[in-house]
Each structure stands twice: as structure tokens, then as C-alpha cells.
Amino acid sequence: MARWPVSSSVIKAVGYDPGRRILDVEFVGGRVYRYTGVDGAVYKDFMAAESKGRFFNQHIQYGYEFEQLT
């Protein structure tokens, strides 16, 4: 899945597949995690958040099943 760079001190890039409701988050350190079941509204709020890291910690990190890709 394609990932797009974001402005964040901890998150390097984000990708989203609305059909499968999958969110990929690539961190500055190089690790990539895939979160499943993420609603499009959550993705939009994530991308609009002033602090991507804070939004991730509060709304995504432990709210969805995930796997580490790299």
C-alpha cells in the first residue's frame, strides 16, 4: 500500500485502504504497523490532527488489532 509523508516528529508516513479499512503507520525509526478495522472518519480525523502522534496514541494505538510489518 502506498504511504504518504506526514508532518510529525514520530510518524514518518501513513497509508489507508478505505475498501479494506486498513491503516499503515510508518514511524520515524523505520517500523511499520498495520491496523485493521479503521473507519474512514478516524483516518480523516487522524490526518487532520494537529499532533499526529498524540492522536495516534489516544485513538489508534490500542483501539485496533494490528501487526508489525517491518
Q: Which domain holds residue 37?
A: 4-68
pLDDT in tens, 22-63: 999 999 999 999 999 999 999 999 999 999 999 999 999 999
pTM score, two decimals?
Answer: 0.95
Non-local (6+) Cβ contacts of 23 within 8 A are 14, 15, 16, 34, 35, 38, 42, 43, 46, 60, 64
Q: Contact 37/59 with Cβ under 8 angstroms? A: no
Domain count, the chain: 1
Q: Which amino acid is at 52?
A: K
